Chain A
Amino acid sequence: MAKVKLIIENVKKLYGQSSDLQTRIIEVHGKNVGVLFMESSSSSDNVSDFVVKSIDYVAKNTNKLSDVYQHLKNNIFNSQLTTITDFKDFPYYLSSGFTIVIVDGSSEAIALETRATLDRGVTESTSEPILRGPKDSFTESNAKNLGLIRKRIKDHNLWFDEVKVGARTQSKVNIAYIKDIADQNCVTAIKEVLKKIDIDGILDGGNLREYLLKKKSVFPQILSTERPDLACQSLLNGKIVILVENSPFVLILPNVFIDFIHTSEDQYQKPFNISFTRILKVIALIITLFTPAIYIAITTFDQTVVPDELLISLAVQREGVPFPTFFEVILLMAIFEILRESDVRSPANMGASMSIVGALILGQAAVDAGIVSPIAVIVIAITSICSLIFTDVDFMNGIRTWRFIFIVSATFFGLIGIIATGLMLVLKLASLDSFGVPFLAPFSPLINSSQKDAVIRYPLPRVFKRPMYLQNQDKTKQGGGR
């Protein structure tokens, strides 16, 4: 077999003499033992403490004539030990933070886990804050993410299927599901799709979404979350969770429309109060979709539907505004969206000055200057506040797109246009499905037993069944199931 020095030269060539590749040769009973590791992705302490020391220990405590490779393999202090037989696997292990030990004359190499902690640790969720319930969130570390799920569901039927995606990134994608609940066809289908992906790299679950869904829609059909408790709730309901290495956001599927109105917190609070909150959210959804369009329709086409005094008040407020109502609404909406976008992108310490400018421009100054009418500011304010109630960014943006479509149809056709577009929206949503589950379930098709946790939440002891629209193997949560 090859000489250690030759192999090291080859690896160095492979990495183009990258500065973070560290090598060391130790002589043990006349044989060269090579230690290779990436200084960047491995922890040097681990390498010195557990690899170099071990080799030293082996050298001192063995006979001259014995097989050095076998001794090393049996005596190295490390819980994770893999043998590599193919030189092609070297880069994957090295880049992942493993230390590779090679011995002169041996056809195998040993890979030892010496990964450096390059993630920020388990912190509180920033994008989905809650008041009551577990506060931890997923991180960039794959092992930690899996651990956060595993420690919550101790059942051995919780399985993680790993698929590597991306020719260059070799990202680990784990499909998590509870084997005797989840629909196996769905798991197989997802695996098929993931295996077929031909791309140089994926860095976040968001990249995978585009491969998983065939039908186009502005609404997301896959929920993404950084809350482990929500992921576990979904798993227990028979859904499938996809975890992508290096991404704190996991994907949950199959998903239905009503899931975007739920939060993980819903399960930890009083059912009656949560039902009230959910009804409010549905109302907010309707408001945020329709308000600007209805405002345009009733001020430019269907004035007859407005109560007398309100109409006169609207008419007087619009007095002196130079732009048509449509333009006024679009202008304010654009300003709000720009503000929102810049607020997300800008560093935190600039947020305060921006909100002052935003509030002044959007509020008082624009009205005082006579550019927009006060009522239009109110309309856009209500719309924006109601849209911020939803945590999923893609869902929020989907609503925004449809709001714009509604505005355009209201501008040309009034209330009738809104009704027709509303019909189109419902048709579109009803036509969507995610891995065979209709997007509007459990409302269309109507499933009575699943209404207990749709808009109204029943107390947990009374919810016997998992969502029936999922093709679960085990349909009940209580009694027969575990």
Chain B
Amino acid sequence: MKKKIIWLLIGVCLITGCGNYREINDLAIVTSIAIDKTDDGKYELTYLIANSPKSQTSNKEGEATTTIYSGKGKTLNEATNIIDRKTPKSLYYGHINVVVISEDIAKDGFLKIADWLLRNPETRKQFYLLQAKDIHAKTILKIVEPLESFPSQSIASLIESNATFESLTSNIKYSPFIERILSKGFDPILPAVTIIGSEKKGSTEKNLEKTEPDTYLKLNDVAIFIKDKFVGYVGEKDSQAISVLNDSISEFKFTFKYHDHDVVYISNNIDTKVKIKDFNHISIKVKGAGYLSEVNGKIDIDKTDVVKKMEKKLEQKAEKDFKATLKKMQNEYHADVFGFGNKLYGLYPKKWDKIKDQWNNEYFPKLNVDIQTDFQIVSSGALNRTIGEVKK
């Protein structure tokens, strides 16, 4: 009897396995998706398929090239069906890396198209979401990058390196992005991508052969959203300030002037604390310790009082920049990308419920925010003094 039960349990375990047997070489592996909107209001889907062998005759070299298929349709599914009919293999969505949406889609409201990708059980929900700036989203997928083997990977690694080392764009993935849209008082941002150079030259393999590629992808702006609707772009400086104030950054690089000399400061342990004083008053403290990465000019950086003065200058400059970004958000875009509303909701849920509809337009712009910065220069890098000083 016991034996029978064990066999039954094993049988049950076995039966639950999904019966979707498919050979790996019968799959068209979709690694990137671009979603555009055509003039007649249809969706245009573009798939980047990664595993097409280089040529029909010599397929043993194991090198993959990419192919692009697009289709138009009233719904995303309709567009997919058209692509499906074009490809000889069955489409496989398990390894989507990057999804690029166009400005039109973003303006229209992202939630309209969000459902399709979330509902598909095959997709991982951890792909990067990007917005194409000034160009069609489709164009982004076409660009061949010299340093990566296939385009979707190049976009993904571009975002990763930018977010970790340059602190310019936030690497927001798909499901956190949707979470932020749905959360209370926390407007999302998306990295914006564009191309430098001509689209035609960039989409051929010749782009790979040149030492200086004709065309490359550029990632520096950030698209600001209110809820799921796109409202505008901000540049590098603002993007960095947003990341610092959000405490979503690992490396902070900052240039300031000291006695007409440019000084670059890098901190690897930025810590931002947001304190809510009352419903209309928030104070932010940014703390960090770092080193000097570049000093262009003669400064006595081995003297403590000079360093103290430099720290002061740095703090003032940073404060000013942060405030400028904050003002821009409050007055120009009305987008609460810092999540102040979310924090207020946590403390005053009832009060928040009453004003939640007026938050972006009335309460957020009037919010009184203090910013205090405290940066320390703990090291001057590999040089103790500046070069000008040594010479003397």
Interface positions of A (Cβ within 8 A of B): 299-301, 303-304, 308-309, 311-321, 324-325, 367-368, 370, 374, 409, 412-414, 416-417, 419-420, 423-424, 427
B24 within 8 A of A: yes
Q: Supply 10 A–B pairs (Cβ within 8 Å), ascending by A.
A: A301-B22, A308-B97, A311-B95, A312-B64, A319-B25, A367-B60, A368-B60, A412-B14, A416-B17, A420-B14
Chain B residues whose CB sits within 8 angstroms of the CB of A318 once the complex forms: 23-25
Contact residue among A315, A414, A423 (Cβ-Cβ distance under 8 Å from B29): A315
The 7 closest A-B pairs by CB, nearest first: A413-B17, A318-B25, A416-B17, A315-B51, A304-B94, A299-B24, A420-B13
B150 within 8 A of A: yes
CA distance A427 to B31 in the complex (A): 41
Contact A320 B97 (CB under 8 A): no
Contact B95 A314 (CB under 8 A): no
Chain A residues whose CB sits within 8 angstroms of the CB of B20 once the complex forms: 301
Extra contacts besides A374-B60, A412-B17, A416-B16 (8): CB < 8 Å: A301-B17, A311-B24, A316-B59, A319-B51, A319-B59, A325-B23, A374-B62, A413-B17
Q: Take A299-B23, A308-B97 as given contacts and tell me if A409 and B14 are in contact as well, using a CB distance cutoff of 8 Å.
A: yes
Q: Take A325-B24, A374-B62, A427-B6 as given contacts and tell me if A316 and B51 are in contact as well, using a CB distance cutoff of 8 Å.
A: yes
Contact residue among B10, B22, B27, B59 (Cβ-Cβ distance under 8 Å from A424): B10
Chain A residues whose CB sits within 8 angstroms of the CB of B29 once the complex forms: 311-312, 315
Q: Take A309-B153, A319-B53 as given contacts and tell me if A304 and B95 are in contact as well, using a CB distance cutoff of 8 Å.
A: yes
**Can you name the residue of chain A whose Cβ is closest to the Cβ of B16?**
A416
Contact B16 A303 (CB under 8 A): no
Chain A residues whose CB sits within 8 angstroms of the CB of B53 once the complex forms: 316, 319-320
B122 within 8 A of A: yes
CA distance A301 to B13 in the complex (A): 16
Q: How far is the CB of B48 from chain A (nearest CB, A)?
A: 11
Chain B residues whose CB sits within 8 angstroms of the CB of A367 once the complex forms: 60
CA distance A317 to B59 in the complex (A): 8
Contact B62 A300 (CB under 8 A): no
Q: How far is the CB of B389 from chain A (nearest CB, A)?
A: 49
Give B245-257 as 1s and 0s: 1 = Cβ < 8 Å from A's Cβ atoms.
0000000000000
Contact B150 A312 (CB under 8 A): yes
Contact A414 B17 (CB under 8 A): yes
Contact B17 A417 (CB under 8 A): yes
Q: Take A311-B29, A315-B51, A368-B60 as given contacts and tell me if A300 and B22 are in contact as well, using a CB distance cutoff of 8 Å.
A: yes
What's the tally of chain B residues with a CB closer than 8 Å to chain A?
33
Chain B residues whose CB sits within 8 angstroms of the CB of A320 once the complex forms: 25, 53, 59-60
B124 within 8 A of A: yes
Contact B124 A315 (CB under 8 A): no
Q: How far is the CB of B283 from chain A (nearest CB, A)?
A: 44
Give B92-136 as 1s and 0s: 1 = Cβ < 8 Å from A's Cβ atoms.
101101000000000000000000000000101000000000000
Contact A312 B92 (CB under 8 A): no
Q: Find residues 318-349 in chain B having any chain A CB closer than 8 Å to their own CB.
A: none
Contact A303 B27 (CB under 8 A): yes
Contact A313 B18 (CB under 8 A): no
Chain A residues whose CB sits within 8 angstroms of the CB of B24 once the complex forms: 299-300, 303, 311, 314-315, 318, 325
Q: How far is the CB of A316 from chain B (nearest CB, A)?
A: 5
Q: How far is the CB of B50 from chain A (nearest CB, A)?
A: 5
Contact residue among B64, B94, B97 (Cβ-Cβ distance under 8 Å from A313): B64
Q: How far is the CB of B194 from chain A (nearest CB, A)?
A: 24
B63 within 8 A of A: yes
Contact B124 A304 (CB under 8 A): yes
Give B195-213 as 1s and 0s: 1 = Cβ < 8 Å from A's Cβ atoms.
0000000000000000000
CA distance A481 to B35 in the complex (A): 80
Q: Find residues 47-80 in chain B having any chain A CB closer than 8 Å to their own CB.
A: 50-51, 53, 59-60, 62-64
Contact B18 A312 (CB under 8 A): no
CA distance A312 to B151 in the complex (A): 13
Q: Find residues 1-31 in chain B having any chain A CB closer than 8 Å to their own CB.
A: 6, 10, 13-14, 16-18, 20-25, 27, 29, 31
Contact A303 B17 (CB under 8 A): no
Q: Take A308-B31, A312-B50, A319-B53 as given contacts and tell me if A416 and B59 are in contact as well, using a CB distance cutoff of 8 Å.
A: no
Contact A308 B10 (CB under 8 A): no
Q: How far is the CB of A23 from chain B (nearest CB, A)?
A: 64
B384 within 8 A of A: no
**Can you name the residue of chain A whose Cβ is closest to the Cβ of B12?**
A420
Q: How far is the CB of A415 from chain B (nearest CB, A)?
A: 8
CA distance A311 to B10 in the complex (A): 30
B183 within 8 A of A: no
Tell me which of B6, B60, B92, B122 has the highest count of chain A C-beta atoms within 10 A of its own C-beta.
Answer: B60
Contact A316 B63 (CB under 8 A): yes
B361 within 8 A of A: no
Contact A417 B50 (CB under 8 A): no
CA distance A308 to B150 in the complex (A): 11
Chain B residues whose CB sits within 8 angstroms of the CB of A316 once the complex forms: 51, 53, 59, 62-64
Q: How far is the CB of A88 from chain B (nearest CB, A)?
A: 50
CA distance A300 to B122 in the complex (A): 14
CA distance A287 to B27 in the complex (A): 27
Contact B13 A416 (CB under 8 A): yes
CA distance A474 to B17 in the complex (A): 51
Q: How far is the CB of A242 from chain B (nearest CB, A)?
A: 32
**Can you name the residue of chain A whose Cβ is closest to the Cβ of B121?**
A304
Contact A315 B17 (CB under 8 A): no
Contact A416 B14 (CB under 8 A): yes
Q: How far is the CB of B155 from chain A (nearest CB, A)?
A: 12
Q: How far is the CB of B29 from chain A (nearest CB, A)?
A: 6
Tell me which of B17, B20, B25, B124 has the highest count of chain A C-beta atoms within 10 A of its own C-beta.
Answer: B17
Give B142-177 as 1s and 0s: 1 = Cβ < 8 Å from A's Cβ atoms.
000000011001000000000000000000000000
Contact residue among A309, A374, A413 (Cβ-Cβ distance under 8 Å from B14): A413
Contact residue among A317, A409, A427 (Cβ-Cβ distance under 8 Å from B62): A317
CA distance A296 to B150 in the complex (A): 26
Contact B62 A324 (CB under 8 A): no
Chain A residues whose CB sits within 8 angstroms of the CB of B16 once the complex forms: 416
**Can you name the residue of chain A whose Cβ is closest to the Cβ of B95?**
A308
Contact A315 B14 (CB under 8 A): no
Chain B residues whose CB sits within 8 angstroms of the CB of A313 once the complex forms: 62, 64
Contact residue among B10, B18, B31, B149 (Cβ-Cβ distance under 8 Å from A420): B10
Chain A residues whose CB sits within 8 angstroms of the CB of B13 once the complex forms: 416, 419-420, 423
**Can you name the residue of chain B whose Cβ is closest to the Cβ of A313?**
B62
Chain B residues whose CB sits within 8 angstroms of the CB of A423 once the complex forms: 10, 13
Q: Take A308-B97, A416-B13, A419-B13 as given contacts and tell me if A300 and B23 are in contact as well, using a CB distance cutoff of 8 Å.
A: yes
Q: How far is the CB of A318 from chain B (nearest CB, A)?
A: 4
Q: How far is the CB of A304 from chain B (nearest CB, A)?
A: 4
**Can you name the residue of chain A whose Cβ is closest to the Cβ of B22?**
A300
CA distance A301 to B17 in the complex (A): 9
Tell me which of B14, B16, B27 has the highest count of chain A C-beta atoms within 10 A of its own C-beta.
Answer: B14
Chain B residues whose CB sits within 8 angstroms of the CB of A374 once the complex forms: 60, 62
Chain B residues whose CB sits within 8 angstroms of the CB of A321 once the complex forms: 25
Contact A309 B149 (CB under 8 A): yes
Chain B residues whose CB sits within 8 angstroms of the CB of A309 once the complex forms: 149, 153
CA distance A315 to B6 in the complex (A): 38
**Can you name the residue of chain A whose Cβ is closest to the Cβ of B66?**
A312
Q: How far is the CB of B67 from chain A (nearest CB, A)?
A: 12
Q: How far is the CB of B144 from chain A (nearest CB, A)?
A: 16
CA distance A420 to B9 in the complex (A): 9
Q: How far is the CB of A46 from chain B (nearest CB, A)?
A: 61
Chain B residues whose CB sits within 8 angstroms of the CB of A419 once the complex forms: 13
Chain B residues whose CB sits within 8 angstroms of the CB of A312 once the complex forms: 29, 31, 50-51, 64, 95, 150
Q: Take A301-B18, A308-B31, A320-B59 as given contacts and tell me if A315 and B10 are in contact as well, using a CB distance cutoff of 8 Å.
A: no
**Can you name the residue of chain A whose Cβ is closest to the Cβ of B6?**
A427
CA distance A420 to B10 in the complex (A): 6
CA distance A414 to B149 in the complex (A): 30
